[in-house]
């Protein structure tokens, strides 16, 4: 079963606008972590943000925030005030603490294109 689902293969946004990248997940483990990574065209993977399943508040890191809706099993990434440099692939990932906290499972990614 797909553990991480990213249904948007591509998204377009204008510079300075906000954009939401969708991520839903599937787990029966009560303790888990959710991650977002950015992969620019240069290829490296860059960690953006983390949300723990027991965290009471949504995670934020600068212009990035994670809209965590536990009951709906969604962990959407919100990028505020998009910049041209935000154009990249974005991957959602999950780690289940009780069944293998060492193992990160990734979604298929969403390509974001920011236009001037």
Which parts of this chain interact with another protein (CB under 8 A)?
4, 33, 35, 42-47, 50, 91, 93, 101-109
To another protein, the closest distance from the beta carbon of 14 in angstroms equals 27
Nearer to another protein, 78 or 104 (CB): 104
Distance in angstroms (rounded) separating the CA atoms of residues 114 and 72:
28
To another protein, the closest distance from the beta carbon of 19 in angstroms equals 20
Phi, psi of 114 (to 5 degrees): -105, 125
Count Cβ atoms within 10 A of the Cβ of residue 98 and give its class: 0-12 exposed, 13-18 middle, 19 or more buried: exposed
Nearer to another protein, 55 or 73 (CB): 55
């Amino acid at each position: 079963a797909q553990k991480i689902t990213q249904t948007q293969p591509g998204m377009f946004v204008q510079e300075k606008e906000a954009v939401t990248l969708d991520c839903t997940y599937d787990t029966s483990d009560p303790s888990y972590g959710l991650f977002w990574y950015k992969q620019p065209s240069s290829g490296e993977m860059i960690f953006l943000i983390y949300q723990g399943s027991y965290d009471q508040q949504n995670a934020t890191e600068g212009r990035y925030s994670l809209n965590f809706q536990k009951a709906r099993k969604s962990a959407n990434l919100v990028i505020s005030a998009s910049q041209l440099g935000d154009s990249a692939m974005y991957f959602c990932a999950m780690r289940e603490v009780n069944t293998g906290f060492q193992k990160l499972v990734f979604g298929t990614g969403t390509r974001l294109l920011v236009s001037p």
